[in-house]
Copies of this chain bind each other. A is one copy, B any other.
Amino acid sequence: MRIGEVAEKAGVSVRALRYYEEQDLLQPDRGAGGQRQYPDTAVARVRLIQQLFAAGLPSRSVREVLPCVDSGKAAPGLLDHLETERARISRRIIDLLAARDRLDVVIANTRNPPPHCDHTQ
């Protein structure tokens, strides 16, 4: 597969794919004319990368995690890192839930104005 097809199937930009390679998250082959050649599995891999990015992992961490997804083995000390990231994600989820609740209050108040109006500031 060439870069455009991968981009479309994975739902990312061509630029993003080149960026991933620059960050050592992908290592596509090169065809005769110097064009990138991806295996079919690359699409799933890109989706995984996106998911990890969405979780707030920096590319450095993604680069460390990817080999472990393949091999099922972790480099020494990586397990701690993984759990640290997991904790970060969990905290982020909690924060988002709290923020959503705050928004819900605002929305509810907006739908039918409450009797007691805060006059904060």
Contact = CB atoms under 8 A, between A and B. Distances in A.
Interface of A: 27, 39, 41-42, 44-45, 48, 51-52, 54-56, 65, 68-74, 78-79, 82-83, 85-86, 89-90, 92-93, 95-100, 102-104, 106-107, 109-111, 113-114, 117-121
A118 to B, nearest CB: 6
B93 A96 contact: yes
A113 to B, nearest CB: 5
**Chain A contact residues: helix, strand, loop or mixed:** helix
B93 A55 contact: no
Kindly list the 7 A-B residue pairs having the minimum CB-CB distance in the complex, ordered from nearest: A55-B99, A74-B110, A72-B109, A54-B95, A41-B120, A89-B100, A51-B99
26 contacts: A39-B121, A41-B121, A45-B121, A51-B95, A52-B102, A52-B103, A55-B100, A68-B106, A68-B109, A69-B106, A69-B109, A69-B118, A69-B120, A70-B119, A70-B120, A71-B117, A72-B110, A72-B113, A72-B118, A73-B110, A74-B106, A86-B103, A86-B107, A89-B100, A93-B93, A93-B97
